[in-house]
Amino acid sequence: MTIRSAPATVYPETDGMPLPDGEYQAPIYRRVVRDLDDHFREVPGVNVNGDTFIYYVEGNPRRSFSPDCYVVFGLTNAALHSLSLEGNNTYLLWEVGKAPDFILEIGSPSTAATDLDRKRELYAELGVGEYWRFDATGDEFYGEPLVGERLVDGEYRRLEMRLEDDGRVWAHSDALSLDLWWTDGDLRFWDPAKECWLLRREEERAGRLAAESRAGTAEARVAELEAELRRLRGE
């Protein structure tokens, strides 16, 4: 008698459905993930990602969630390798060895209720250290522009959110060692250690082009002065 082994469990990278409110959420989460990925790129053991399926029960592909943005610290080389394999876009909690330390959800019409209820409970159960919610509209989806919560004794406790006179809202993330700011519907990160905003790639590119332009102008001016000096010398 031939004994057949059970087929390996498949953990899909997608459910085949389009991202809920994708046209609204995608530009925001891509920018946020890119900002944090650039910031932590040189820090060992860190993984930054978003809009990927995280499976948390081995053998049960129905048990999954997909945060808009997450950051994990202190990963082993083996865990980092499993997350960086070509063609792999899933996060198997039992292989990685820990839940994300930081999760951010972006408010939208079809996801806000779940973000406030079922996902919040699940993240606490799995041990996600910080859970943040960002509402670009200000209050349409979550009732407030930005809120961060820290897990304490298995329950989330709200962080102190500070309101500036100009309407900006911010708070400090211990997980990221950064301040998160809601400013005119945008989410920005402030590095208190360096006392500067995290630059976005387009800002870095614009700064580099401006510097190159200034350098080119200076070189041209030096060449003009050298030519004038040679003329005066009769060379």
pLDDT tens for the 235 residues of the chain, in order: 555 555 678 888 876 665 566 667 889 999 999 999 999 999 999 999 998 999 999 999 999 999 999 999 999 999 998 887 755 689 999 999 999 999 999 999 999 999 999 999 999 999 999 999 999 999 999 999 999 999 999 999 999 999 999 999 999 999 999 999 999 999 999 999 999 999 987 665 544 544 555 556 767 777 787 777 777 777 7
pTM (predicted TM-score): 0.82
CA dihedral over 132, 137, 139, 141, signed as positive or negative: negative
Q: What is the distance between the terminal CA atoms of the chain, rounded to a whole angstrom?
A: 100
**In the sheet that 47-49 helps form, which strands lie side by side, from edge to edge?**
47-49, 69-72, 102-106, 130-134, 146-152, 155-158
- Please report, to the nearest 10 degrees, the dihedral formed by the alpha carbons of residues 120, 126, 130, 131 taken in order: -20
The residues, any chain, with a CB within 8 Å of residue 212's CB and separated by 6 or more, are none
The torsion angles phi and psi of 106, rounded to 5 degrees, stand at -110, 125
Alpha carbon distance 189, 177 (integer Å)? 10
Minimal CA–CA distance to 121: which of 65, 198, 166, 76?
A: 65
Burial class of 225 by CB neighbour count within 10 A (0 to 12, 13 to 18, 19+):
exposed
